[in-house]
Amino acid sequence: MIIIKLKNIIPNIKKDMQVSLFTSVKDTHGGWSGSLYTVPVPGDYIFSPIVKENTTLSVSFDLYKNGSSVRTICASVSGNVGACSIIVPNLVAGDTLSIRCNSSVTLAAVGSISINRISGPAQIAASEKVFLQYTNNGGTSITAGVTNLDFTTKVVDSHGAWNGTVFTAPRAGFYQVNGSTLLTASVAMNAHIYKGGVDTISISNASSLSQK
């Protein structure tokens, strides 16, 4: 089961800005980035936000999927609480969900959101491809045998399996790992794959100021 519960809305938002919630109560798969939810596993999800604005305005909130508005999901009228639950069907891994307001307002810090996966395959099918690509802008300082190489800019991630430094295999199988690094100091470096926190295999050797 996938469960995400967050509370406390950051108060000031502008029109069409993603509503941010900063306190995670529970996030079973690490899908929430602060203002955006990335679907980790395919299925149907129920999306339940609660919002309240601090003025006498009447505002509405839209659900956005992959950057495009899906529908208006709730409203806060004259400072009252707006709440709803909506089923978002047929999501696939990598889809993104967010909430945006139709006006620039100040929100009360009493909001919350719950996202639950209610149906879908219990496991990733053996025929389903798992793939990802991330890049790094450079500047990582490496400590021998300690520092995981970080690649934080997502190009594609089919199952949300990479957290910046660690890949969590979504299903059993054989995986191919490809990558490259460029040294900016006159040193030699061996790159190793760690499995379950244990040094498993050396995969590359880079000499001074070279790319590997």
pLDDT tens digit string along 147-197? Answer: 788 888 888 888 878 888 888 888 888 888 887 777 776 777 778 888 888
Q: Which of 113-117, 140-144, 177-181 has the lowest mean pLDDT?
A: 140-144
Q: Is the pLDDT of residue 57 over 70?
A: no
In this prediction, residue 22 has a pLDDT band, given cuts at 50, 70 and 90, of low
Per-residue pLDDT at 1: 47
**200 or 16, which is more confident?**
200
What pLDDT, on a 0 to 100 scale, did the predictor assign at position 19? 61
pLDDT digits (tens, 9 = 90+) for 65-86: 998 988 887 766 565 666 677 8
pLDDT confidence of residue 163 = 84
Residue 162 burial (CB count, 10 A): 16
Higher pLDDT, 196 or 55: 196
